[in-house]
Amino acid sequence: MQAANRLQKALKRGASAFGAWQMLPGTNLTRTMLRSAANIDWLLIDMEHGNISDDMMHEIIAAAAAYGVSPVVRVIEGQAWMIKRALDAGAHGILAPVLETEEDAKNVVRYSKYPPEGNRGFEPLLAVDKFAELHPHGGSVKQIGTIDYLQQANGSLVTAVMIETKSALERVKEIAAVPGIDVLFIGPFDLGVNIGHPILDPSKPEQELIDAIQSIQAAAHAAGKASGIYCDTGEQAREYAHKGFHMISTVTDMIALRKAFSQAFNAAGEHQ
């Protein structure tokens, strides 16, 4: 399983892993996005704020895995049934939003892991084929079975939690210390709002927000965990990679589509 989880392999190496963010439904969109660049390591399937249903989540996970890209689901909340649905569909990891305390983080781990580390129910029939190892030159496909999944899942799936509330920022060291949490992922827009320093100009975040982001990264590093952050542009993603962040989003479908259409039609109308 670990060999097929591109995101986890990058995190294990301490490398930066760049991801795309999908809010709109449709596997044709998924495939178009993933064909656009060879260095897309993971795809975030946004169930929290996106227009993606449960059945569409299943289809997008399958499409991403078929491209060798790790599908990661941002669940609506860190509830057991939501995490179960994502992982049983074959997600290579989950991202739980709106944490407040270390107890919330412990619950996310509990719902994400099989016993004895957690209490996730066992039925991976839909999940196993999302971890097939594809030979890069068209050779045989290495499949895993349900028992392989049971034995390997606890150590092969990425469990990430979002630090985006004032309470989570104040408890970030305790959250980072929770066993089983792999990534502290920063939602800068919600974090800015919740600490009273919203991002009004993405190119000029207030110093208090910059300091908060740095403190979250420092807490993750001190606990031996990876740090992640949401970015709107490749330039931002490169900047945070240079700062030592690991799980970094690079582009969101809705933002990229608006930008591309705006640029095209503005150029078309320049001389009218």
Q: Which residues are CB-contacts of 12 (< 8 A; sequence separation ≥ 6)?
A: 2
Q: Is 256 helix (H, G, I), strand (E, B) or coil?
A: helix
Round to whole Å and give the CA distance between 262 and 95. Answer: 31
C-alpha torsion sign, points 226, 231, 237, 240: negative
Catalytically annotated residue among 49, 242, 246, 271: 49
**Which alpha helices (H) appear in the chain, and where do they start and end?**
6-13, 27-34, 54-66, 80-88, 102-112, 146-156, 166-170, 172-176, 188-194, 207-222, 234-242, 253-268
Round to whole Å and give the CA distance between 269 and 272. Answer: 5
Judge whether 221 counts as a catalytic residue. Answer: no
Q: Cis peptide leading into 198, omega within 30 of 0?
A: no
66 closest CA partner among 156, 141, 153: 141
Round to whole Å and give the CA distance between 83 and 74. Answer: 9
Round to whole Å and give the CA distance between 109 and 177. Answer: 12
| End-to-end Cα, the chain, rounded Å | 56
**DSSP structure string for 204-243:** S--HHHHHHHHHHHHHHHHTT-EEEE--SSHHHHHHHHHT
Round to whole Å and give the CA distance between 118 and 227. Answer: 23
Active-site residues, by number, are 49
